[in-house]
Homo-oligomer: A and B are copies of this chain.
Amino acid sequence: MSDDEGRQATMSTAMVEAIATEMRDNDEVFYMGEDVADYGGIFDSTDGLLEEFGHDRIMDVPISETAYIGAAVGAAQAGMRPIAELMFVDFFGVCMDQLYNQMAKNTYMSGANVNVPMVLTTAVGGTYSDAAQHSQTLYGTFAHLPGMKVVVPSTAYDAKGLMHNAIRDDDPVVYMFHKRLMGIGWMPAPDGPKTAVPEEPYTIPFGQADIKREGADVTVVTLGLHVHRALEAAAKLADDGIDVEVIDLRTLVPLDEATILESVQKTGRLVVVDEDYRSFGLTGEVISRVVEAEPDALEAVERLAIPDVPLPYARPLENRVIPDSDDIEDAIRKTQP
A: residues with CB less than 8 A from B are 66, 90-101, 104-105, 108-109, 131-133, 140-141, 143-147, 252-253, 255, 277, 279-285, 287-289, 291-292, 295, 298-303, 308-310, 312
Contact = CB atoms under 8 A, between A and B. Distances in A.
Contact of A140 (B280, B288, B298, B308): B280
Contacts of A287: 284, 287-288, 291-292
How many copies make up the complex? 2
A314 B206 CA distance: 31
A278 B127 CA distance: 31
Given A284-B287, A285-B284, A295-B300, A310 B143 contact: no
B91 A97 contact: yes
A105 B144 contact: no
A45 to B, nearest CB: 22
A113 to B, nearest CB: 14
A38 B91 CA distance: 35
Given A93-B99, A109-B132, A280 B291 contact: no
Contact of A292 (B141, B146, B301): B301
B147 A310 contact: yes
Task: Pick the most buried of A95, A143, A280: most chain B CB atoms within 10 A of its CB.
Answer: A280
12 contacts: A93-B100, A94-B96, A108-B310, A109-B310, A143-B279, A143-B280, A144-B281, A279-B285, A287-B287, A288-B303, A291-B298, A295-B299
